[in-house]
Structure 1
């Protein structure tokens, strides 16, 4: 009986503690502020930017030579991480795979 009483008191104290917390802030809706794209038989490119600072741009080119056959893609994206850091990543994706390079606010290369 004592264990049940202690368990009930612990649950009640947790419920009361969470009731004292303010409700989480409502996130602002994110809008697209810039968007552009072009696609043809030799490749594609696109870019977009949102009101929260997120953006991405990418170009893909179809390669059909002895060195590589398929898409070769170059691009970059940036966003604000949950801890407030501004993250930027540039990348190449080709016959050697996905090769990202990340930078943070200090513009020093980060380990990826």
Structure 2
């Protein structure tokens, strides 16, 4: 859990470091899919974009849960374009990105 908190902290720090000026929202979409989930996406003038979709799995059963899948893109202070893809479901939070350290199983 501490590793996950550190990862989110590093991502947030990257966003903050990139946004010295106030960014403008270029695109924003938000959909409430009733009780079946939601979807949203946005893009800002400083190169950040994000999209996320949640779906209800196993509705009406004891295993009912929300599964969230998404991605976020940004340009770091080093000028590199980063992409983080993620899935959060009954198996926990799973992040993928070329910039992330690889964990050996």
Q: What is the TM-score when the length of structure 1 is the normalising length? A: 0.64
- Structure 1 residue corresponding to 2:36, chosen from 32, 42, 58: 42
Secondary structure of the structure 1 residue equivalent to 2:22: coil
Which residue of 1 is the match for residue 23 of structure 2?
A: 30
Residue 66 of structure 2: aligned partner: 71
Aligned CA distance change for structure 1 residues 37 and 82 (closer, same or farther; 3 Å): same
Q: Larger radius of gyration, structure 1 or 2?
A: 1
1:81 aligns with 2:76: yes
Alpha-carbon distance between aligned partners in 1 of 2:97 and 2:72, rounded to the nearest angstrom: 10
Give the length in aligned residue pairs: 81
Which stretches in structure 2 are left out of the alignment for 5+ residues?
1-19
Structure 1 residue 67: deviation in Å? 9.1
Greater relative CO (CA pairs within 8 A, separation 6+): 2
| 1:64 shift after superposition | 2.3
Residue of 47, 50, 62 corresponding to 1:53: 47
TM-score by length of 2: 0.68
Structure 1 position 46, deviation (Å): 0.2
